[in-house]
Amino acid sequence: MTDFVQSVAGVLIVALVLALSIALHEIGHLVPAKRFGVKVTQYMIGFGPTLWSTRRGETEYGVKWLPLGGYIRMIGMFPPGAGEDATHLRESSTGAFQTMAADARAVSAAEISPKDAERVFYRLPVPKKVVIMLGGPMMNLLIAVALLGVLLVGFGDPGQRATTTTLSVVNECILPADSTRTACGEGDPATPAAEAGVRPGDRIVSFAGEPVTAWSDVRLAIRERSGAATDMVVLRDGTEMTVSITPVETEVAALDVQGEVMLDAAGELQTVTAGFIGVAPLTRLEPQPVTAVPGFVADTVVGTAGIVVRLPQRMVDVAQASFGSEDRDPNGPIGIVGVGRLAGEISSIDEIELRDKAAGLLGLLGSLNVALFVFNLVPLLPLDGGHVAGALWEGLRRRIAFARGRKDPGPVDVAKALPIAYATSLLLVAMSVMLLYADIVRPISLRG
């Protein structure tokens, strides 16, 4: 496939999985709501004018023009005010916030017929309310577990790639260990590997007559053979070839016992004099056991939660990068357009093998569902976490009243929190617009 076709395919895959994730999120709310007897009048994917819908029983199922989210409509989300009947409300009192709450109660009451008076959401026990509202985020978590589980068990952990004895890079020239240059300049000496005709894709079979099975064997042997002509056997296109190579003595980065680059107390690179031939190994993903999946998912959730907690500062960073000269943090928040763009890049880069492309898309889609799970748990209306917080507060109020011998205070009047819900919605819209702009003018790219 051409780069364009592969890029489009990646974007379409993300769009399809995102739509499926939204649909399943709402099913996570729908199923327990119906199971607990709440009347659900709508199940919609998207917002705005209805594009298509059909009615099954008492519920209308449909798709709207803007497929960026979804919702189910349950009757009786807002309880009547004190002294009011669920289907007959008093005139609202003065005050903008009071009027807003009263109007919301009126709209809610208009949906409730006398025969449905016991099928309203606000009459449910607290545990059932929590189950319904957590159903959506938990569905995203299950999707994430499935996607990240396939990634980890079928491919491996992208953050822990194993080195092989196959060469991915053969440098043309020798650059100083502390050099920041990436291209050879006039007068730079050729590397021993380039002089010997070694090519990327060659697999080192033996070095100095000793078989090698791990890159650590190759690295150690090269470092110890500076200045000595050495036979190296490589496998190329199924045929073993012997090349003569003489590692040169040069300043190379010092490595610790784990093979990691060593830095001094000032953070400067430490170097040692050792043999060098100018090659780098190919890395690959290694499948992990199923038992590693929970920890992997947990780490992803914790990392995403850290981003969400610091979201205000992260959005400031996004704005500064979008309107200024600062680089955008590749680990920062990213919008749907940015996710689609990354999927397209993963699919179109020729240097990435098909296996790694599949792993990259799985990781991207799994992380997207983790983000949906974590973000929806933020305890602010209109997010699911806000409704959960309201239900838990209701349960706490009842326990306190019971402990003090007082009467049941009744359900929490969520309508009073509508100003917070509207403010949160406006903030979410503003952040979405900011991320959309950033993804267009200063996108995060795999190509740097």
202 burial class (0-12, 13-18, 19+ CB within 10 angstroms)? buried
In the structure encoding, which two tokens stand for residue 427, read together?
């903030």
- Neighbouring CB atoms inside 10 A of 127's CB total 11
Q: At what angle do helices 3-35 and 126-150 cross, to 10 degrees?
A: 150
| Tokens 């898309």 -> residue | 361
What is the β-pairing status of strands 162-170 and 239-245? Answer: unpaired
In angstroms, the CA 424 to CA 203 distance is 56
Q: What is the dihedral of CA 172, 239, 351, 206, to 10 degrees?
A: -60
Q: How far apart are CA 417 and CA 249, in angstroms?
A: 71
**% helix / strand / coil in the chain, to the nearest 5?**
50, 20, 30
| Cα 196 versus chain centre, distance | 44
Rounded CA separation 147/160 (Å): 18
Quote the CA–CA distance of 46 and 267 in Å, as a whole number.
50
Distance CA 300, CA 394 (A): 32
442 touches 325 (CB < 8 A): no
Instruction: Give the CB-side neighbour count of residue 372, counting CA atoms within 13 A.
Output: 32
Catalytic sites, residue numbers = 26
User: What distance in Å separates the CA atoms of residue 334 and residue 66, rounded to the nearest whole number?
Assistant: 19
Report DSSP letters for 260-313, one per residue: PBPB-TTSPBPEEEEEE--EEEEEE-----GGGHHHHHHHHHHHHHHHHHTHHH
